[in-house]
């Protein structure tokens, strides 16, 4: 690897001059600029980011902590963030936390050790010391902490929405699936759903789903129909779980949506490819990732930020695991 010294020697100038042409800063004669530039291409020189980072005490690296990219919701967030960062010449160091504090902290430590200029984190522990006085801007993604920069969607409203729509379509023996307790958005949507249900005076059952893993989703689904076989409406904790419920319902010979209606959460890509295709509360994951990246870049560049917390809308995405609602009559 050629260094700035090699270029200087080759061009017959000092390293300072080379540095100037690279960064386009300060005066430099047109002729010497040419010389330097040809030297650079001849030697295929590219600046050493590590040396730069050491001197400036900051890199072009961004840390990204996500729970688990094996859950299809998160790759969408990741791609949104990555694409936006890429376009702004930032690169991403990445880690899956599995929703565990120690893993998360381990990653964040190494991010900091590598001089990342900013952090995007989808964490359940935004209020730990880990994030206070980190010295670099942090944007929470898919999670919030009051008055800290964050991009998330309105889970509570999403929950209400799910309850409202499933009621409007005639389900009365509803089972709500409650996601993992330490995952905030999962609790928000659950709370929203039961809030609406209570509001309407509708009784409901609850099934606890202590993970979002594909491998375990089937278990919750089985448990659901064993414990509450007369369920005619399921508000699932997310699309993965909803998929498992749909699968199990069909295995039991139930007709969806005639016997059981199912509503998921997230709108991951596969949802529209199921049969029947999955009705769900959509979160604009990719856009959330982009928004988080944009917000972080603003923070990094000390731009004035119009809003520190961005709440994205959830939308009821009607497909075929719910019945068609009757036409309103005027």
Partner DNA sequence: TTGTACGCGTTATCAT
Partner DNA sequence: ATGATAACGCGTACAA
Interface with a second copy (CB under 8 A): 1, 46-51, 53-54, 59-61, 68-70, 72, 75-76, 78-79, 82, 86, 91-96, 107, 109-110, 112-115, 135, 214-215, 217-218, 243-244, 246-247, 250-251, 269-270, 273-275, 277
Interaction partner, residue 13 (DNA, a second copy, none; CB < 5-8 Å by kind): DNA
The listed partner (a second copy, DNA, none) that binds 32, CB under 5 to 8 Å by sort, is DNA
Span from 9-17, 165-173, 216-224, 322-330 in contact with DNA (CB under 7 A) = 9-17
- Rounded (to 5) percent helix, strand, coil in the chain: 45, 15, 40
| Contact assessment for residue 154 and residue 313, using Cβ atoms and an 8 Å cutoff | yes
Among the listed residues 175, 108, 107, 149, the one whose alpha carbon sits nearest the alpha carbon of residue 298: 149
Concatenate the DSSP letters of all residues of 97-153 into one string.
-TT-HHHHHHHHHHHHHTT-SEEEE--S-TTSTTTTT-SS-EEEES---TTS-EEEE
**Residue 16 or residue 325: which is nearer to DNA going by CB?**
16
Question: Considering the rule CB under 7 A, would residue 3 count as an interface residue with DNA?
Answer: yes
Which string of x and - marks every residue 54-83 that binds DNA (by CB under 7 A)? xxxx--------------------------
112 binds DNA (CB under 7 A): no
C-beta closer to a second copy: residue 16 or 51: 51
Which of 157/320 has CB closer to a second copy?
320
CA atoms of 177 and 264, how far apart (whole Å):
10
203: contact with DNA by CB under 7 A: no
Which listed residue (47, 170, 218, 276) binds DNA by CB under 7 A?
47
- Give whichever of 62 and 194 is closer to a second copy, judged by the CB atom: 62
What's the closest the beta carbon of residue 156 comes to a second copy, in angstroms? 28
Tell me which DSSP letter residue 309 carries.
E
Which of a second copy, DNA, none interacts with 78 (beta carbon under 5 to 8 A by kind)? a second copy
Give ∠ CA 189-192-197 in degrees, rounded to 5.
125
Q: What is the DSSP letter of 274?
A: S
Question: Interface with DNA includes 22 (CB under 7 A)?
Answer: yes
Measured from the CB atom, the residue of 37 and 68 that comes closer to a second copy is 68
CB distance 289 to 80 below 8 Å: yes
What are the Cα distances from residue 121, in Å, to 149, 194, 313? 11, 28, 20
Show Cβ contacts of residue 31 under 8 Å, excluding neighbours closer than 6 positions.
Answer: none
Strand partners, 151: 141, 310
With CA atoms as reference, report the closest residue to 71 among 282, 212, 254, 224: 212
Contact status: 145 vs DNA (CB under 7 A)? no
Site residues, DNA (CB under 7 A): 1, 3-5, 12-17, 19-20, 22-23, 25-29, 31-33, 45, 47-48, 51-52, 54-57
């Amino acid at each position: 690897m050629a260094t700035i010294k090699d270029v200087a020697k080759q061009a017959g100038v000092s390293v300072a001059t080379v540095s100037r042409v690279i960064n386009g800063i300060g005066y430099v004669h047109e002729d010497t600029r040419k010389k330097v530039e040809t030297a650079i291409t001849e030697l295929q020189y590219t600046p050493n980011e590590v040396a730069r980072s050491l001197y400036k005490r900051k890199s072009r690296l961004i840390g990204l902590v996500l729970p688990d990219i094996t859950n299809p919701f998160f790759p969408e967030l990741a791609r949104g963030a990555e694409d936006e960062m890429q376009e702004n010449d930032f690169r991403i160091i990445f880690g899956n936390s599995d929703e565990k504090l120690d893993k998360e902290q381990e990653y964040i430590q190494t991010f900091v050790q590598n001089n990342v200029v900013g952090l995007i984190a989808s964490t359940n522990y935004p209020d730990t010391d880990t994030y206070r006085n980190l010295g670099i801007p942090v944007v929470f993604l898919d999670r919030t902490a009051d008055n800290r920069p964050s991009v998330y969607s309105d889970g509570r409203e999403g929950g209400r929405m799910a309850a409202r729509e499933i009621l409007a379509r005639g389900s009365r023996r509803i089972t709500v699936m409650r996601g993992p307790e330490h995952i905030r958005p999962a609790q928000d949507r659950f709370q929203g759903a039961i809030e609406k249900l209570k509001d309407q005076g509708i009784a409901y059952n609850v099934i606890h789903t202590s993970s979002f893993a594909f491998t375990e989703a089937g278990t919750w689904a089985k448990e659901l129909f064993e414990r509450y076989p007369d369920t005619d409406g399921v508000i699932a904790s997310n699309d993965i779980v909803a998929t498992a419920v749909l699968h199990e319902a069909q295995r039991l010979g139930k007709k969806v949506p005639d016997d059981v209606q199912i509503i998921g959460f997230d709108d991951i890509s596969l949802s529209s490819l199921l049969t029947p295709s999955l009705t769900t509360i959509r979160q604009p994951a990719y856009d959330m990732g982009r928004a988080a990246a944009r917000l972080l870049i603003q923070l990094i560049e000390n731009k004035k930020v119009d809003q520190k917390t961005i709440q994205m809308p959830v939308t009821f995405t009607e497909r075929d695991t719910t019945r068609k609602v009757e036409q309103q009559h005027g």
